Amino acid sequence: MTTGFGQSIRATVLICAAAAIGSLSVYLANGAPLFYFDTVGYLSQGHSMLDAVADAVFPASASGPELSQPAPTPPSPPDRSVDASRSAVYALALSSLDAVAGLDIAVFINLGLIWLALLLVARRIGSPSVLPALRLSSLALLAACLGALPFYVAYLMPDILAPVMILMLALIFTYFPQMSRGEFLASGVLVLAAVVAHPSHLLIAAAMLPVGLLASPVMARRRLWISVGLIGLLVGVGVAEKFLFAAAVGYFEKKEARYLPFMTARLIVDGPGMTYLASHCPDPELATCALYDELSGGEDTAKLDAPSILFSTSEETGSYKRLSDQHQLEISHEQPEFVLNVVRAAPFAVIGALARNTAVQLSYFRIDMTVPDAGLLAKLDDENGSATASLRNGRLVTNPHRWMAPLARLHAALYGVSVLAIVWILLKARRQRTNLWIFTGLVAAGIVANALVCGGVSEPAYRYGARVMFLFPTLAAVLSFGGSSGWKD
């Protein structure tokens, strides 16, 4: 018996070590965390918030040597607003890690988050005992490592929390009565962390809630209060984060929080929004006409691209960012009314565009957007200065296109085989374990919700697809071995 227990511990240690190494493989191969251009935005925003709080709590002394100060320069017109589209919570977390321990520690936190989520899943689908749950969760990690997971473990962006949230919502809706208080608390905290880490996560959760409440038989007797409680908690926390950030911006920086008009840009690029503006502009009561004037001037079709509309400042492709701060504020404030008016004017065109973008997003799984171009860091350094000080290029930025195409083919085959394996396992288990059907269906619903939100509201992009596609081999591994005695004893 002792020998068997010792062998069990050794097997657990070995598979945990293999899972850790596999998950960190991209970070180790690169020699540095991966980053995106928006990573600098989070760092800049977070450090600005920390500095504002520090200045408010510890104001600089007014008795310093004034002669040493440089002569004042003529002030430029101040911006009245601060971009609030990014999560203030994630910006603070990333900048705090940068200040205290260095950005590399974020890679290990990413790994801890996804591992904890899989451990909670393994305790329900497999065994609640520590060693079997560790082995099953490690095996699931190893399967995910064959897909895109290692790239998102190494990624200094909140994307890793999207699959974590999907797994946890599926777990809660499927196994709520069987979960211990500790399991429910841990899974709930992970969901809330995801909701406040990125605006898209709140929308994905909102899309999953009605599916979970309808599909889960264990919620039948508690559907009313559970639905009210979950919706209230998730929406409340998500709205509270935005409200507190807006209040902090107003108090510390005396500015107004502004949200980028993602849906306005999406409707314009898809056509219905542009058609609406063409038929209503010029109109002094319609602030978005200022954006239409920028987009309709010239013949450069590159302007009619959502990222260009929202972020470009160049004369060739820029539009929204080239407007005055006042105009940008007015367009952002007008977005809800503009979206409703476009939907009323062309509902079928909007629905068709949404379905098309969702389908395109579901076909995207490549990891290309997680690996920065070799020149991105230098460009970000020129534009942002000290905000890039902790970022560094790694080995993978050198000629990444040599290995990205073959890797994409391998991932396509892996995800296809995983889906077939999942279907086969579920067909075999349909009479014995209906919970597996519910859990898998909810994870699949989360993947579709991710495509709907990211592809339909923002723009179809590889980054959004790859962050959830590795859930297919993960599920295949959990379903294959969750009921095996070797992973339960």
Please measure the distance between the N-terminal and C-terminal CA atoms of the chain and give it in whole angstroms.
13
Residue pLDDT, tens place only, 78-105? 555 666 677 888 999 999 999 998 999 9
> Could you tell me the pLDDT band of residue 319, with boundaries at 50, 70 and 90?
confident
Is the pLDDT score of 212 beyond 90? no
Over residues 283-307, mean pLDDT: 82
Residue pLDDT, tens place only, 127-163? 888 899 999 999 999 999 999 999 999 999 999 999 9
Mean pLDDT of the chain: 85
Is the pLDDT score of 226 beyond 90? no
> Could you tell me the pLDDT band of residue 71, with boundaries at 50, 70 and 90?
very low
**Per-residue model confidence (pLDDT) at position 398:** 86
Token pair 């450090």 is found at 47
Residue pLDDT, tens place only, 382-414? 877 777 888 999 999 888 888 999 999 999 999
Percent share of the chain, pLDDT over 70: 82
Over residues 264-290, mean pLDDT: 92
Task: For the chain, state the CA radius of gyration.
Answer: 24
pTM: 0.89
Is the pLDDT score of 68 beyond 60? no
**Lowest-pLDDT choice from 222-231, 304-313, 416-425, 445-454:** 222-231
**Lowest-pLDDT choice from 79-88, 91-100, 267-276, 289-298:** 79-88
**Per-residue model confidence (pLDDT) at position 298:** 61
> Could you tell me the pLDDT band of residue 221, with boundaries at 50, 70 and 90?
low
Q: Which H, E and C letters describe the chain, residue by residue?
A: CHHHHHHHHHHHHHHHHHHHHHHCHHHHHHCCCECCHHHHHHHHHHHHHHHHHHHHHCCCCCCCCHHHCCCCCCCCCCCCEEECCCCHHHHHHHHHHHHHCCCHHHHHHHHHHHHHHHHHHHHHHCCCCHHHHHHHHHHHHHHHHCCCHHHHHCECCHHHHHHHHHHHHHHHHHHHHHCCHHHHHHHHHHHHHHHHHCHHHHHHHHHHHHHHHHHCHHHHHHHHHHHHHHHHHHHHHHHHHHHHHHHHHHHHHCCEEECCCHHHHHHHHHCHHHHHHHHHCCCCCCCCHHHHHHHHCCCCHHHCCHHHHHHCCCCCCCCHHHCCHHHHHHHHHHHHHHHHHHHHHCHHHHHHHHHHHHHHHHCCCCCHHHCCCCCHHHHHHHHHHHHHCCCCCCHHHCCCHHHHHHHHHHHHHHHHHHHHHHHHHHHHHCCCCHHHHHHHHHHHHHHHHHHHHHHHHHCCCHHHHHHHHCHHHHHHHHHHHCCCHHHCC
Q: How many CA atoms lie within 13 A of 91 on its CB side?
A: 24
**Lowest-pLDDT choice from 9-18, 222-231, 298-307, 345-354:** 222-231
Name which residue leads in pLDDT, 58 or 70. 58
**Lowest-pLDDT choice from 94-98, 162-166, 178-182, 430-434:** 430-434
Tokens of 29: 């191969």
- The answer to whether 320 touches 294, Cβ cutoff 8 Å, is yes
**Per-residue model confidence (pLDDT) at position 171:** 94
Is the pLDDT score of 114 beyond 70? yes
**Per-residue model confidence (pLDDT) at position 225:** 63
Over residues 18-26, mean pLDDT: 97
> Could you tell me the pLDDT band of residue 61, with boundaries at 50, 70 and 90?
very low
